[in-house]
Structure 1
């Protein structure tokens, strides 16, 4: 179950903490991405990569996914937004539980000066929050 959703300071990062097992969150996130018709391009396992070089890191995975129709519209508005696309969601183990983090689309508007374009930013934000809540084991 999700315990909170909050923006983390002014970095434009949204966060949700859950007591669900990391592998369960991983599975639900993969399913949620697929069910929403988005493409999962890659999952980076930072924990495994750290182990390969003899370092320790709690289980941490970055999911890289997106919808080309939405992403293309953002990049047509301002090419620099490609730095932040495709969308990413981090799932990591912490002392508080499993943390799910993602970029707030409203922050991308500010960072890349997308205000002049008519983009579905609120819809994107709601979709990402819904995806994170579903992955956390909530509705």
Structure 2
């Protein structure tokens, strides 16, 4: 489902396992993992409750640099991110920004089209690996 430039996909695993699978898929595709943020853990340390929520920030300069060369402001949305989160019913979801939304948001030109397509295709493949039990 697309929502304000975001894609949200149901996951068959818990939040931690979903991010583990995404991280493994990303590193297996020669992407760099820049950070993994446990929002719920950070909230707990500050004395707050938050359902399981983790963010993975990952990418590759080969994918992001062409976008930033086109419009440097696209760097605010790069590297790419994916958020695994548990809803009030205990269902786990993985949400990420659509590459096309990024292109529209920053007014990227035709020169960025192939990089945008590669990011879109690559993200979809990684998300399938992280969320779909049929994908090994």
- Return closer, same or farther for 1:41/1:32 CA change in 2, 3 Å cut-off: same
Tell me which protein shows more strand as a share of its residues.
Answer: 1
> Are the counterparts in 1 of residues 31 and 58 from structure 2 also a CA contact under 8 Å?
yes
Question: What CA distance in whole angstroms lies between the structure 1 residues aligned with 2:5 and 2:90?
Answer: 21
Higher alpha-carbon deviation: 50-59 or 16-25: 16-25
What is residue 22 of structure 1 aligned with on the other side? 15
TM, length-normalised to structure 2: 0.90
User: How big is the shift at 1:96?
Assistant: 5.6
Question: What CA distance in whole angstroms lies between the structure 2 residues aligned with 1:61 and 1:24?
Answer: 10
How many aligned positions are there? 132
What is residue 116 of structure 1 aligned with on the other side? 110
> Are the counterparts in 1 of residues 23 and 33 from structure 2 also a CA contact under 8 Å?
yes
User: How big is the shift at 1:12?
Assistant: 0.4
Matched, 1:135 2:133: no
What is residue 3 of structure 1 aligned with on the other side? none
Question: What CA distance in whole angstroms lies between the structure 1 residues aligned with 2:101 and 2:27?
Answer: 25
Name the SS for the 1:40 alignment partner: strand
User: How big is the shift at 1:72?
Assistant: 0.8
What is residue 43 of structure 2 aligned with on the other side? 50
What is residue 86 of structure 2 aligned with on the other side? 93
Report the RMSD for the aligned CA atoms in angstroms: 1.3
TM, length-normalised to structure 1: 0.89
Gaps of 5+ in 1: 1-5
Question: What CA distance in whole angstroms lies between the structure 2 residues aligned with 1:138 and 1:89?
Answer: 20
User: How big is the shift at 1:29?
Assistant: 0.9
- Return closer, same or farther for 1:138/1:130 CA change in 2, 3 Å cut-off: farther
User: How big is the shift at 1:115?
Assistant: 2.8
> Are the counterparts in 2 of residues 104 and 125 from structure 1 also a CA contact under 8 Å?
yes
